[in-house]
Amino acid sequence: MSKIAGGIFTSHVPGIGGAIAKGLQQDPYWKPFFDGFEPVHQWLAAEKPDVAVVFYNDHGLNFFLDKMPTFAIGAAAEYRHEDEGWGIAFQRPFEGHQDLSWHIIEEVVASEFDPVTCQSMLVDHAVAVPFELCWPGKEAFPLKLIPIAVNTVQHPLPSPKRCYNLGQAVGRAIESWGGDEKVVVFGTGGLSHQLEGGRAGHINVDYDKFCLRNLAPDPEALLQHDTLDIVELAGSQGVEILNWIAARGALRGSVRELASNYHIPISNTAAATVLLENSDKVHA
C-alpha cells in the first residue's frame, strides 16, 4: 500500500526563482523565507518520498483563459517547466508516474469528479519554484511528479469544499494504490496577495494567521468562507489557498505540524511555508 508521509504547503512567488538563480538565500530580504525550508530539507532527507502529488494553479502556461479546466490531473511520462514571462530558466525536467496518475484519475472519477486528463503538460512556477526550494542543486529531482491543477484564476472558481473533497478523493486513491511508494503532497500558492487593480499589494495578516492556525488541527474551519469571500479576504491571488485546502484534504490521518514559517512580504505576497506529518491512522 502506498503511504502519504506528509504535506508541504508553500508560496510559489516567481521572484524566488530569481533569488535562487542569483544565490540570494542569505540576503537579508530573502533569508527569513529560505530559512523556513531548513526543517523541510531535514524531513525530506529522512523520509525520502518517491512521489510528489502537487496541487497548484496554472497561471496561463499550460491552460489559458480560452480553455480553463476547473481540475486537471497530469498523466504524462515527463513534465517540463517553461517560463510564462517571469524570466525563470529552470532546466531540470520532472519525471512522471503514469500508472499512479491513472489510478488517481480512475478513483477520482469514480468519486464523481470530472478532471481533465493531461498526457502532455507543461508546469509553471507554481510547481517549479516549490521543487527548487525543496531540492536545491543541479542533480535530477529525486522523486516523481503528479501535478493536479486547480483553477484559481478564471471565475467561476471551485468552492473550498469542492477542493477539500477532491483532495480527500486523491488521498483515498493514493492509499488504495497497490505499490509501495511513499508520497508527499504539496499545496502551493498564497498566502494573501493581490497583484493587480486598486487593491494591488493587499495583504491580510488576520486571515493568513487564521489559515495557518487551523490548517493542521481543523482544516474544515477554512471551508467556512466561500471562494468569493476568500477573494475579498485574501486578495484575488490569495485565493490560491484553494490549493492548500485541496492538499490538506489528502492528509486523512492524524496530522502533526512540524514547522510553520510566515514572512511579509516576498514580492507582493505574504509568504508562508508549512510542513505537516501524516500518521498512518486514517480516519474513515
Cα distances (Å, whole numbers) of residue 34 to 39, 129, 136, 262: 11, 12, 11, 11
Which residue lies nearer to ligand DHB by CB, 4 or 19? 19
Q: Which does 263 bind (CB under 5 to 8 A by kind): ligand DHB, Fe ion, none?
A: none
Which residues, at least 6 apart from 175, have a Cβ–Cβ distance to it below 8 Å? 1, 2, 3, 4, 252, 282
Binding track over 12-31 against ligand DHB, x by CB under 6 A: xxxx----------------
Q: How far is the CB of 19 from ligand DHB (least distance, A)?
A: 12
Give the C-alpha separation, 244 to 161, whole Å: 12
Which residues, at least 6 apart from 79, have a Cβ–Cβ distance to it below 8 Å? 93, 94, 96, 121, 122, 123, 127, 145, 147
Q: How far is the CB of 267 from ligand DHB (least distance, A)?
A: 3
Residue 125 a catalytic site member: yes
Which residue lies nearer to ligand DHB by CB, 101 or 237? 237
Cα distances (Å, whole numbers) of residue 218 to 8, 139, 182, 223, 229: 17, 38, 25, 10, 19
Contact of 272 with 260, CB cutoff 8 Å? yes
Query: Interacting stretch for ligand DHB, rule CB under 6 A, among 6-14, 22-30, 96-104, 178-186?
Result: 6-14
Catalytic: which of 193, 202, 225, 263? Answer: 193
Which of 130, 120, 151 has the alpha carbon at shortest distance from 58? 151
Catalytic: which of 12, 97, 103, 125? Answer: 125
Q: What cell does 257 get?
A: 505540524
Give the C-alpha separation, 212 to 260, whole Å: 8
* Residue, CB closest to Fe ion: 189
Binding track over 179-218 against Fe ion, x by CB under 5 A: ----------x-----------------------------
Query: If binding is defined by CB under 6 A, does position 202 make contact with ligand DHB?
Result: no
Residue 225 a catalytic site member: no
Query: If binding is defined by CB under 6 A, does position 96 make contact with ligand DHB?
Result: no
Q: At what angle do helices 160-175 and 98-110 cross, to 10 degrees?
A: 120
Which residue lies nearer to Fe ion by CB, 238 or 253? 238
Q: How far is the CB of 173 from Fe ion (least distance, A)?
A: 26
Q: What cell does 228 get?
A: 468569493
Binding track over 41-60 against ligand DHB, x by CB under 6 A: ------------------x-
Preceding amide of 115 cis, omega within 30: no
* Binding site residues, ligand DHB, CB under 6 A: 12-15, 59, 189, 193, 195, 237, 240, 267-269
| Residues assigned a catalytic role | 125, 193
* Binding site residues, Fe ion, CB under 5 A: 189
